[in-house]
Amino acid sequence: MAVNGDQIVDGADPVWWRRLFGELLGTFLLVLVSVGPGVVNQRVGGEPVSRTAAVVAPGLMVSSIILFMGAVSGAHLNPSVTLAFALRADFPWRRVPGYLAAQFAGAVAAAGLLAGLLGGHGTAGLTVPGPGVDTPLALVWELILTVGLVSTILGTASGAQSVGPLAAVAVGGYLALAGLWASPLTGASMNVFRSLGPALVYGQPRGWWAYLVGPLLAVPVAVGVALLLRGPGGGPVSRRAAQGDAGRWQR
């Protein structure tokens, strides 16, 4: 991708490896802080990391990641976000496989680090349906929660609603608020790799398909919402937000 004035056009991207590394690192940090509290509590006993802290921490981490490297990769950190940006014509489809691979690698690496350093503790830190919540119901909740998350991201990345650094506040705040009330139901994952990466490492894939199908079904719904609210995508501001702006300041 080459930058021409305010337009981002397809072509050779000399910083593509940085974008992939950014997605890997960002997803690694997100999954580390998402899975870590449950594993720590199981390892040391009791609840030194409260549920409130455990669900707010990922939101704060995402806010930090958006601020420190959003300009490099767009800070997707989530396959639903990458696919939604592509459906909105803000992100090239041919770059989607690389982003998805980097995100998956980051999620597995984070779970592997936790397992290696702190051991395995059943479903601690994983997203599984809560008591009284069967897998189909968990799927519905994950779909609803993910629609809200992706809608927030698409909205703060649009030319009409661009809020600059406050996008970090909006996205991180949504993650924290959704987790505060919905984590007892499903774990409030809203991210395929945040759920499936650790489940593969820990060998506890209970209800796994809800965390695959729900967030993926949310993608066309959220893109449809964005279309109704602000029309088609593909504008220069939203393309820069989705793809990162690293080419502008590369030295």
Q: Over the stretch 56-79, which tens digit does the pLDDT of each residue have?
A: 999 999 999 999 988 899 999 999
Q: CA distances (Å), 36 to each of 44, 63, 146, in order?
A: 12, 18, 22
Predicted local distance difference test score (pLDDT) of residue 120: 75
From first CA to last CA, the distance across the chain in angstroms is 16
- Is the backbone of residue 106 left (phi > 0), alpha (psi -120 to 50) or beta? alpha
Residue 185 pLDDT exceeds 90: yes
Residue 206 pLDDT exceeds 50: yes
DSSP tag of 130: -
CATH number for the domain including 144? Answer: 1.20.1080.10
Range of the domain at 228: 2-249
Tell me the whole-structure pTM to 2 decimals. Answer: 0.91
Predicted local distance difference test score (pLDDT) of residue 8: 45
Predicted local distance difference test score (pLDDT) of residue 2: 38
Residue 121 pLDDT exceeds 90: no
Domain count, the chain: 1
Predicted local distance difference test score (pLDDT) of residue 104: 98
* pLDDT tens figures, 8-44: 444 567 789 999 999 999 999 999 999 999 999 999 9
